[in-house]
Structure 1
Amino acid sequence: MLSPRRALRAAAARLLPRRPYWLGTPLRATIAAVTSGGGYVLLITYSQGTEWVDLPARTEPYDRPDDREFTAVAAALAARGLARTEAWAIDTNARLCASINPVRKEARRG
């Protein structure tokens, strides 16, 4: 039988977003525009596939990502134990992208 503290930790670990280990090594984060409904989506590219993360919906027409999207991207990457290793740049498809790496648990504690 688990102690209440361990049971709570186990339940929280199941609910928190985790990095999908079956997709391999994380390579790149991309902010892409969504054609239907407007807004943006975060694409996390791994060596074996891509994970899609929804960003906050927008009600007004969009031109480029604002602080709300960048804050949501930082939170999504941190929740998965990932961090950007370089500044945002524009790729060949005119989307914002940056290289990412996993962060060790000791470094995340702050």
Structure 2
Amino acid sequence: MESLFDWISGVLGAVFGLAQGGFDGVNQVMGLLIAVIAALLMPAWSRLWATALGAALVHVAIGVVRPMLDGGAFVLPDLLTLTFWMGVFALFLGYAIVIAVFFLIKSLFTGGGHAHRKHAH
């Protein structure tokens, strides 16, 4: 039973470590701008995970395109490495946290956080 608790605490510690690393990656000007735009475009809380995934992919795409704008060569990230995907997952978790905070603020000011649906009768 102790080994199960040790395993669970190890997994949770790793996830929290990834979330902290992702939050550090998002907590820069580019990441905050992406998160604000994503929160403004997010229609409802149910779209948080998809919005965070989209924001993480935009972050990676900007990271690929930015060196080209500075005159550098086009270089793809190492898509087949675990390090790359762990970094994307960390960004995903970081964006989920930051977008949730921004969306909460947005929903407090706009008076809702859910999509209003009209039913045709």
Using the size of structure 2 for normalisation, the TM-score is 0.29
The structure in which a higher percent of residues are strand is: 1
